[in-house]
């Protein structure tokens, strides 16, 4: 029988992650600098090293219901999930009947040169979160889930005072139309390639540029100065 549901409640998140500023998402965020001054936090979150499948497996227990991560860590420093890691993690979660949740709040909706960052990896999550660019400045977030997960909810089991706000939803629809009409995903890919190609000589020229990471127009430079 399926292990989904039942009494499992633990969620594994990645070190260096950022998932939000509610009590639950602060605990999901594996960076103490964001947690300082808050608490007590919810139990049930465990941290594993990013891009380390062995580390994730080590954190798994009989209580684990999900693994949640950003395909590209935003606040963590534009850390890109390797293809091997994300593909093997997808296979592992499927085999163990553990949900794979991808937080695409920062990296989703075209920024990386694909509509969703997971599309770079040839996989699909069970659950995905979207927000930041979705409303073009209007406050809106969305959770997308496969039917096997979404069917756990019935009308009224999960509600929000301002959820489904008509103005915010109209803004989101307008955003999606503009993305499609103006080919913004393709432009992010092309301009991202150009941008990174122009940054490469700077990396060779200046020793304080330690690394360049990213996909599309989601790009980060890691700087290192003597004594810092």
Asked whether the bond before 40 is cis by omega within 30 degrees of 0, the reply is yes
- The catalytic residues are 18, 103, 132
DSSP characters over 98-121 = -EEEEE-TTTTTTTTSSSSGGGGT
203: CB partners within 8 A, 6+ apart: 209, 211, 212, 221
Burial class (CB in 10 A: 0-12, 13-18, 19+), 143: middle
DSSP 12-62: EEEBT----SSHHHHHHSB-HHHHTT--PPPS-EEEE-TT-HHHHHHH--T
Say what angle helices 184-205 and 166-181 make with each other, to 10 degrees. 70
């Amino acid at each position: 029988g399926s292990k989904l549901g039942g009494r499992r409640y633990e969620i594994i998140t990645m070190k260096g992650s950022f998932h939000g500023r509610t009590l639950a998402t602060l605990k999901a965020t594996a960076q103490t600098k964001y947690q300082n001054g808050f608490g007590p936090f919810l139990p049930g979150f465990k941290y594993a090293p990013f891009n380390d499948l062995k580390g994730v497996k080590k954190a798994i227990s009989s209580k684990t219901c999900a693994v949640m991560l950003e395909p590209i860590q935003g606040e963590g420093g534009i850390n890109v999930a390797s293809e091997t890691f994300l593909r093997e993690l997808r296979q592992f979660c499927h085999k163990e009947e553990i949900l794979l949740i991808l937080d695409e709040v920062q990296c989703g909706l075209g920024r990386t040169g694909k509509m969703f960052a997971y599309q770079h990896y040839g996989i699909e999550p069970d659950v995905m979160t979207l927000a930041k660019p979705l409303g073009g400045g209007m406050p809106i977030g969305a959770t997308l889930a496969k039917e096997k997960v979404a069917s756990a909810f019935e009308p009224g089991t999960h509600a929000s005072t301002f959820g489904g706000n008509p103005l915010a939803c109209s803004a989101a629809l307008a955003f999606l139309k503009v993305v499609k009409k103006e080919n913004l995903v393709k432009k992010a890919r092309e301009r991202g390639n150009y941008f990174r190609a122009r940054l490469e000589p700077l990396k060779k020229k200046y020793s304080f540029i330690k690394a360049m990471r990213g996909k599309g127009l989601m790009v980060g430079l890691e700087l290192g100065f003597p004594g810092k």
